[in-house]
């Protein structure tokens, strides 16, 4: 706990201490793909398509921003043998919608380092490839549809390329461990 507090206060010191001022408040839209799905890391499975995310971020000052984020991933889970000998496989579609608050450090020209918290909802949908969902409900306690609260942290970096465009990478515990993509500031 003490280490966490020291790291947090160190981050605040660097975030609010003598950072160079960037342009006036601006808005950035970012789109990217995810690498390292959190769900398949723990459950196993195979992607149906690359996870993607879309973010809208409004930077109120050179040090603070608020934003909205949406991400989606879909994968096929492990196969199960149900009581009648039928092989069933779960398809899991997982979506997140969240609000993000971030603190920024922009001491290096064209480089924006940031970190913060996100709060939102996760929407999970489970389907079987064949047969009914009864086995998974009764024996594993799974629900075909669920909505849960999401609260997690993230850190990231964005590098301005030219003409308002930037590339970014973000590490966190959302639908993926790492997201990378391109952004445009207007």
Residue with tokens 């500031």: 185
Name the residue range of residue 36's domain: 2-185
Whether residue 158 has pLDDT greater than 90: yes
Residue 138: other Cβ atoms inside 10 A: 10
Measured in degrees and rounded to the nearest 5, phi and psi for residue 57 equal: -130, 130
Whether residue 127 has pLDDT greater than 50: yes
On average, the pLDDT of the chain sits at 81
Look at residue 58 in the predicted model and tell me its pLDDT. 95
Instruction: Give the total number of structural domains in the chain.
Output: 1
CA–CA distance, 96 with 68 (Å, rounded to integer): 10
Q: Would you report the helix, strand and coil content of the chain in percent, each value rounded to 5?
A: 15, 60, 25
Range from 67-71, 87-91, 162-166, 168-172 carrying the lowest mean pLDDT: 87-91
Tell me the percentage of the chain whose pLDDT exceeds 90: 41
CA–CA distance, 100 with 151 (Å, rounded to integer): 10
Look at residue 15 in the predicted model and tell me its pLDDT. 45
pTM as predicted: 0.76
CA–CA distance, 22 with 17 (Å, rounded to integer): 14
Q: CA angle 104-52-156, nearest 5°? A: 20
Q: Which residue has the higher pLDDT, 57 or 126?
A: 57
| Consecutive H or E run containing 13 | helix 2-16
Range from 64-68, 86-90, 153-157, 162-166 carrying the lowest mean pLDDT: 86-90
């Amino acid at each position: 706990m003490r280490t966490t507090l020291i790291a947090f206060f160190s981050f605040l010191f660097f975030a609010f201490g003598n950072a160079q001022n960037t342009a006036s408040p601006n808005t950035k839209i970012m789109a990217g793909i995810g690498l390292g799905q959190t769900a398949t890391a723990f459950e196993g499975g195979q992607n149906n398509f690359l996870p993607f995310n879309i973010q809208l971020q409004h930077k109120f000052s050179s040090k603070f921003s608020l934003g909205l984020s949406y991400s989606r991933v879909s994968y096929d889970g492990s196969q199960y043998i149900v009581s009648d000998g039928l092989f069933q496989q779960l398809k899991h579609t997982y979506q997140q919608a969240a609000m993000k608050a971030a603190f920024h450090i922009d001491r290096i020209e064209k480089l924006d380092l940031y970190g913060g918290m996100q709060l939102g909802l996760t929407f999970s949908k489970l389907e079987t490839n064949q047969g009914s969902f009864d086995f998974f409900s009764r024996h594993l306690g799974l629900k075909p549809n669920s909505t849960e609260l999401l609260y997690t942290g993230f850190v990231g970096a964005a590098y301005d390329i030219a003409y308002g465009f930037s590339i970014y990478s973000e590490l966190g515990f959302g639908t993926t461990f790492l997201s990378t993509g391109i952004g445009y500031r207007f």
